């Protein structure tokens, strides 16, 4: 009577639902590095190295705890290259009488799991909100909004609550969380975890097997074990959380990580549980070590956005990825692969994407995503790019952020208005413009900031769609007050720029 327990590459959690209560004497954990998962998109080299190294460390740790682990390496002889085939082969190899798994995050892998004969699939209770609870909450609601979801979850969990009221009297401190980084304030760098022997072996394997994939490996310093992830969490709580809120939306030339946590890769792999990350932030606040605006901002991201986007991804189904409410059809411009746009903000975001497989939220949303939105890039192409380039990218979290939040391709299901902004926003939030060869004050012409040159064209092009959105009325009104000559000049100038992108 052997129980087979397949663990996926982003299920690296010691008390995963399917492991809980299993008898180590009669169970076999199966972990498999497979080509299908390594190549459904050509992942950034650091993402591949992170997943494989973390999988190998997790397997070794379980073995040390007394589990039997069957670990199939990418180069193991006979590797079938598919998760389902590896699971079925392992079941036969071990004479398994039962297979128990925790549900996968992505539609693609959920479909594979569902087709494995006789497998029991358990809910992934590492997330705080279950699908049925979300469905019940959503039923009868006219609109979906993060703010409503988040308040519901604050009440449900009691996090940052004083009775039925939000701690401090406000549900959010967004208005306090929009400061540019002042000169002279140097954010403490996040810890760098030196690759051990296992990681070095994986780095060499990735370089050898995936030489053409995007990105560099030289600066691979991600936490790959639970112990390292806990150390990364402790470092963030002590050194960056207190100012996380203030500079959450800041952009700064030469400052890659600011006060961000860089925890998403570890949390998405399962090395850290969202509940413990939240608990650590709340404990810092209770101890007086982190102000409310910082902790609320952080809680909102994990308890709010992270849960919310997953539930939208799961309930909207695979077709959501093909949403294209604005009918954007431009192929992804080469600057997304080459980083030679000449725009200081864009090229900085690109460089750290290439070198760290990470960029912070405002770079993803207001620099990279915003540029694609203004240029009318096909949202599905952009989604594939985002899925490739970040160490924390899994479709369940990446796709709603790109399709919904960033590109408004779902027509406003996830977010209330398109995150479209001219260069003025980027100028306000940081100092990139001072280092840029383009002029952020100029609206048209070759020297003008490309975000400015594209902004009004985006508004004009999408006037019909935006007219139904109350939050866009003021902008539309401004556009409509321009003289026809000015409108024409702006659109012709944008067309000239768009021509150079193709």
Which residues are at the interface with ligand FAD (CB under 6 A)?
A: 260-264, 267-268, 298, 301-302, 305-306, 309, 360-361, 364-365, 369, 386, 390, 392-393, 397-398, 401-402, 405-406
Q: How far is the CB of 271 from ligand DLZ (least distance, A)?
A: 13
| Structure-block tokens of residue 69 | 């682990």
48 binds, among ligand DLZ, ligand FAD, none (CB under 5 to 8 A by kind): ligand DLZ
Closer Cβ to ligand FAD, 6 or 190, answer by number: 190
| Cα–Cα dist 419/239, whole Å | 30
Report in angstroms how near the CB of residue 236 gets to ligand DLZ at its nearest: 24
Beta pairing class for 68-72 and 96-102:
unpaired
Residue holding tokens 């982003």?
10
Q: Are strands 2-6 and 161-162 parallel, antiparallel or unpaired?
A: unpaired
Of all helices (H) and strands (E), which one includes residue 284? helix 274-286
- Choose the one of ligand DLZ, ligand FAD, none that binds residue 261, judging by a C-beta under 5 to 8 angstroms depending on kind: ligand FAD
Q: Please identify, using beta-carbon distances, which residue of 52 and 451 lies nearer to ligand DLZ.
A: 52
- 346 or 390: CB nearest ligand FAD: 390
| Cα 166 to Cα 161, 256, 285, distances in angstroms | 5, 33, 14
Q: How far is the CB of 371 from ligand FAD (least distance, A)?
A: 11
Tokens 């594979």 label which residue? 112
How far is the C-alpha of 370 from the C-alpha of 238, rounded, in Å?
A: 32
Buried b (16+ CB within 10 A) or exposed e, 449-478: bbbbbbbbbbbbbbeebbeebeebeebbee
Eight-state DSSP code of residue 322: G
Least distance in angstroms from the C-beta of 208 to ligand FAD: 26
CB of 63 vs ligand FAD, minimal distance in Å: 29
DSSP string, 463-500: HHHHTT-GGGHHHHHHHHHS-HHHHHHHHHHHHHHHHH
**Residue whose CB is less far from ligand DLZ, 104 or 290:** 104
What does 109 bind: ligand DLZ, ligand FAD, none (CB cut-off 5 to 8 Å by kind)?
A: ligand DLZ
Q: Answer positive or negative: Cα dihedral of 411, 470, 171, 186.
A: positive
151 binds, among ligand DLZ, ligand FAD, none (CB under 5 to 8 A by kind): none
Instruction: Give min distance, CB of 264 to ligand DLZ, in A.
Output: 14
264 binds, among ligand FAD, ligand DLZ, none (CB under 5 to 8 A by kind): ligand FAD
Q: How far is the CB of 302 from ligand FAD (least distance, A)?
A: 5
CB of 220 to ligand FAD, least distance (A): 16
> With respect to ligand FAD, which residue has the nearer C-beta, 6 or 379?
379
β partners of residue 86: none
CA angle 244, 286, 238 (to 5 degrees): 40
- Contact, 417 vs 472, CB < 8 A? yes
Q: Shortest Cβ distance from residue 263 to ligand FAD (Å)?
A: 4
Pick the closer one to ligand DLZ by CB: 36 or 174. 36
Residue 425 in 3-state DSSP?
Answer: helix
Specify the residue, 20 or 192, whose C-beta has the smaller distance to ligand FAD. 192
Task: Give me the sign of the Cα torsion angle 348, 354, 359, 363.
Answer: positive
Residue 121 phi, psi (nearest 5): -115, 120
Q: Residue with the closest Cβ to ligand DLZ? A: 9
> Binds 309, which of ligand DLZ, ligand FAD, none (CB < 5 to 8 A, cut-off by type)?
ligand FAD
Of 397 and 426, CB closest to ligand DLZ: 397
Of 27 and 46, nearer to ligand FAD (C-beta) is 46
Give the residues lining the site for ligand DLZ (CB under 6 A): 8-10, 32-34, 37-38, 43, 48, 51, 83, 104-106, 109, 394
263 binds, among ligand FAD, ligand DLZ, none (CB under 5 to 8 A by kind): ligand FAD
């Amino acid at each position: 009577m052997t129980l087979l327990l397949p663990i996926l590459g982003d299920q690296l959690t010691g008390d995963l639902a399917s492991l809980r209560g299993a008898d180590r004497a009669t169970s076999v954990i199966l972990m498999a590095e497979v080509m299908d998962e390594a190549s459904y998109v050509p992942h950034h080299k650091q993402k591949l190295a992170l997943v494989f190294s973390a999988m190998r460390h997790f397997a070794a740790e379980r073995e040390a705890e007394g589990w039997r682990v069957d670990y199939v390496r990418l180069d193991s002889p006979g590797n079938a290259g598919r998760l389902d085939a590896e699971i079925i082969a392992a079941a036969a190899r071990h004479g398994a009488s039962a297979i128990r798994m925790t549900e996968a995050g992505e539609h693609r892998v959920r479909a594979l799991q569902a087709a494995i004969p006789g497998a029991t699939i358990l809910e992934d209770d590492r997330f705080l909100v279950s699908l049925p609870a979300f469905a019940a909450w959503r039923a009868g609601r006219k609109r979906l909004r993060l703010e409503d979801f988040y308040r519901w979850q604050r009440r449900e969990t009691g996090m940052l609550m004083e009775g039925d009221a939000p701690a401090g009297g406000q549900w959010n401190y967004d208005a306090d969380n929009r400061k540019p980084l002042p000169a002279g304030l140097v954010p403490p760098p996040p810890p760098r975890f030196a690759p051990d022997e296992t990681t070095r072996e994986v780095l060499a394997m990735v370089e050898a097997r995936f030489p053409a994939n995007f990105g560099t490996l030289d600066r691979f310093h991600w936490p790959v074990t639970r112990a390292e992830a806990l150390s990364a969490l402790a470092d963030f709580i002590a050194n960056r959380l207190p100012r996380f809120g203030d500079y959450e939306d800041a952009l700064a030339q030469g400052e890659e990580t600011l006060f961000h946590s860089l925890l998403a890769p570890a949390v998405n792999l399962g090395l850290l549980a969202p509940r413990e990350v939240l608990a650590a932030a709340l404990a810092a606040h209770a101890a007086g070590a982190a102000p409310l605006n910082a902790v609320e901002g952080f809680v909102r991201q994990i308890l709010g956005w992270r849960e919310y986007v997953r539930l939208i991804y799961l309930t909207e189904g695979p077709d959501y990825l093909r949403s294209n409410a604005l009918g954007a059809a431009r192929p992804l411009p080469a600057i997304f692969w080459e980083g030679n746009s000449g725009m200081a903000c864009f090229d900085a975001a690109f460089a750290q994407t290439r070198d760290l497989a990470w960029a912070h939220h405002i770079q993803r949303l207001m620099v990279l995503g915003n540029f694609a939105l203004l240029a009318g890039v096909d949202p599905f192409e952009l989604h594939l790019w985002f899925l490739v380039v970040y160490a924390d990218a899994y479709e369940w979290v990446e796709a709603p952020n790109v399709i919904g939040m960033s590109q408004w391709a779902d027509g406003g299901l996830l977010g209330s208005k398109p995150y479209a902004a001219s260069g003025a926003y980027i100028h306000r939030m940081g100092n990139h413009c001072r280092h840029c060869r383009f002029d952020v004050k100029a609206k048209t012409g070759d020297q003008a900031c490309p975000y400015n040159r594209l902004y009004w064209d985006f508004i004009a092009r999408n006037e019909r769609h935006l007219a139904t959105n109350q939050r866009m009325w003021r902008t539309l009104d401004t556009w409509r007050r321009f003289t026809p000559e000015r409108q024409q000049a702006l659109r012709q100038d944008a067309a000239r720029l768009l021509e150079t992108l193709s």
